[in-house]
Structure 1
Amino acid sequence: MGLIHLVNTGASPASRRQGGRFLAVFGLLAAIALPVRAQTPLPPLVRLSTGDDYPPFSSSTEAGGGAAVALVKAVFAELKQPIALEIEPWMRGQERLQSQQIDGTFPYVPNPERLTLYRYSRPLATIRIRLFTRKGVPLADLPLGAASGQTLCIARGTSPAVPSARLLLSGQATLVNGSDVATCFKLLLAKRVDLVQTHEHLAKRAMRQLEQPADAVVPVGGDDPRAFEETGLHFIVSRHAPQGEALIAAFDRGLAALRENGQFAEILSRYGLTLPSS
């Protein structure tokens, strides 16, 4: 989930747009949380959705449903706003959000296509998306730019992060879509693909699921900033929802209050996470 980036019971938070349009994300994010011009009332009951199997952010195996679930509940409690939260497949949540059957969903990474459809809150957390390979293969010790003729597995519904997009656009890698992250890692360990895109938390989770040691896979490119993309996870609403702008503004106020009173940091710390920078 997608890149999710949301990754999951069907699809991750993402699409498959590539290339220079990735740069548009950063300009558009600057306008995420504009002030509401008028005090639009929120619905009496805010209807929310999230997916499963995206640890440590949203997962039935995590205490309290995961860091993002705990944080979103705390935000609405701070606002004294009643909510109804459903757990459903990621793609269904997006479809219901677009048709305004629900008011919001989370946690999603921004990409150019989604930014035209949804309003984004301030980040709930940040993740580092990168490429992984098998321990001991030559690629594990090479710079990412040295990859050539590789097969790259990305979970279906997840957009390529910047390092992946570079390899795909240059022809250095060929895309293979797996049904989910665990499937991509199965293919990697079976030597049917060379690289898998995900973030560190999901890589560790996949190794546990596959009953493999955590170091069976390793990140490519080390600490080279070109080898990963750091991005945020957000609460999103439809751009077409009449109360969407007001809901994002209220959510950001609640999130700011949790940052001020220490609850934001405390909730994230339960899951081994730290505060996002903004």
Structure 2
Amino acid sequence: MRRHLCLLWGLLLACAGGASAQAETLRIATGELPPYASSARKDQGMSLHIVRQAFAKAGVQVEYVFLPWTRALIETRDGKWDATAAWGRNAERDKGFLVSDNVLTEQWQILYRSDRNFTWSNLQDLAGLRVGVVADYSYTPAFWRMVKDGTLRADVAPDDVSNLNKLLAGRVDVVPLDRNVACDLLGAKFTGEQARRVRAHPKLFVPDFTTHLMMSEKLPASAKRMEAFNRGLKALRQSGEYSKILQQQPCAADLAQALQGG
């Protein structure tokens, strides 16, 4: 009887140890980019919610630390944080990181004022225009090459709100921005009259702007953690939960029409 009790106690301890391992909490550095990443939202943003739920499928908990984006990147590459989310691909910036499967595909368009005529088919059509940009954003390698060689005139701002203010004031001609981000900012930070003065060209600025979780190559656990995340992300998609998360971003009808190029 005593032997059986000892065996039972051993099994209980083993189970408790397994539960403890499964309850690992990863600290993930991120920044503010509503509606994808936001300390003000209950779900902390669509992208961060996807990351959280994907890790949950793998039995891992996460805790987000909101920092300036550049700091989040540098400190994660150095191994201070377990991961950082969510980033577009950039060959130079990706160095030193393991990069996950696609977390979410953003819909980048070019915004302009409704009192202006604007059309474009390729980046060369933007030559001569003042393009509002944020320095840390990915955009595309071709875009940054054309900025570097002087073909495109980039007007750098610290954030998207500043760029939208410049656009409304006529200080820049166009602003590349994700549709959901534009919708969120125009609805929350600007008056209805201001929002109605902004339009989006229907052609996508970036055809396939995927975003990703990144982990430092310096951390020995990163490879296994990334494998677990990718498995969880796949399971989240297959369960139907992923699609439901993407449907949780409301946009007022007038804004939706304008940002669809209407």
Is the TM-score greater than 0.5?
yes
The two structures have a TM-score, normalised by structure 1, of 0.72
Q: Identical aligned pairs, as a percentage?
A: 22
Alignment-mate amino acid for residue 219 of structure 2: A
**2:185 alignment counterpart:** 206
Query: How far off its partner does 1:117 sit?
Result: 2.3
CA distance in 2, matches of 1:105, 1:166: 26
Structure 2 counterparts to residues 116-265 of structure 1, below 5 A? 116-138=95-117, 140-141=118-119, 143=121, 145-161=124-140, 164-165=143-144, 168=147, 171-208=150-187, 209-211=189-191, 212-220=193-201, 222-223=202-203, 227-265=205-243
CA distance in 2, matches of 1:141, 1:85: 40
Does the 8 Å contact 1:151/1:193 carry over to 2?
A: yes
CA distance in 1, matches of 2:222, 2:23: 10
Q: Aligned residues, how many?
A: 228
Query: How far off its partner does 1:272 sit?
Result: 5.9
User: CA deviation digits over 1:50-98, x for unaligned, max 9?
Assistant: 222x122111343411112222221222222233332222222212202
CA distance in 2, matches of 1:85, 1:174: 36
Query: How far off its partner does 1:109 sit?
Result: 0.7
Query: How far off its partner does 1:106 sit?
Result: 0.5
Q: Please provide the CA RMSD for this pair.
A: 2.7
Unpaired runs of 5+ residues, structure 1, are 1-40, 274-278
CA distance in 1, matches of 2:140, 2:152: 13
The two structures have a TM-score, normalised by structure 2, of 0.76
Unpaired runs of 5+ residues, structure 2, are 1-20, 252-262
Alignment-mate amino acid for residue 95 of structure 1: I
Aligned-partner SS, 2:92: helix
Query: How far off its partner does 1:125 sit?
Result: 0.9
Q: Report which stretch shifted further, 256-265 or 142-151.
A: 142-151
Structure 2 counterparts to residues 32-111 of structure 1, below 5 A? 44-52=24-32, 54-111=33-90
Does the 8 Å contact 2:168/2:194 carry over to 1?
A: no
Does the 8 Å contact 1:129/1:161 carry over to 2?
A: no
CA distance in 2, matches of 1:134, 1:163: 25
